[in-house]
Structure 1
Amino acid sequence: MIEVQANDRLGKKIRVKCLLEDTIGDLKKVLSLQIGTSYEKIVLKKGHRVYKDHISLDDYEVHDGFNFELYYV
C-alpha cells in the first residue's frame, strides 16, 4: 500500500492510500469522495503528462509519496 498526494494549487492537498494495482480512475474516485466533486471532472497531471483512467499506478511507476497536480474540468 502506498500513499499519494494530490495538490490543486488552490490550497487543497489531499492524501490518499491506494494499491499499486489500482487504476488512475480508481484513484480519482477516491479523491472525488474526499473533495466532493464528480470524478469525471478531475484531471490528474504531473508536468505535461496527463494520466489516463484505465492505466494502473504501477504502470505509470507511481511510488509512495508521489505528488499529482489536481485540475478540474
Structure 2
Amino acid sequence: MIEVICNDRLGKKVRVKCDPNDTIGDLKKLVAAQTGTYASKIVLKKGHSIFKDHITLADYEVGNGSSIELYYS
C-alpha cells in the first residue's frame, strides 16, 4: 500500500491509500469518495502531463508520498 497526496491548490489536500497496481481511474474513484465530487470531473496532473485513466500508478512512477495535482473539469 502506498499513500498518494492530491492537492487542488485551493487549500484542499486529499491523502489516499492505494496499491501501485491500481489505475488512475481507480485513484480518481477513491479521491471522489473523499471529496464528494464525481470521478468523471476529476483531472489528475503532474507537471504538464495529464494522467490517463487506464494506466497504472507504477507506470507513472507514482510511489509512497508522491504528490499529484488535482483539477476539476
Structure 2 unaligned blocks of 5 or more: none
Secondary structure of the 2:69 match is strand
* Mapping of residues 33-72 of structure 1, within 5 Å: 33-72=33-72
Q: Which runs of 4+ in 1 moved over 3 A?
A: none
When normalised by structure 2's length, the TM-score is 0.98
Aligned residues: 73
Partner Cα separation in structure 2 for residue 18 and residue 32 of structure 1: 14
Structure 1 unaligned blocks of 5 or more: none
When normalised by structure 1's length, the TM-score is 0.98
Percent of pairs with identical residues: 66
Partner Cα separation in structure 1 for residue 53 and residue 68 of structure 2: 14
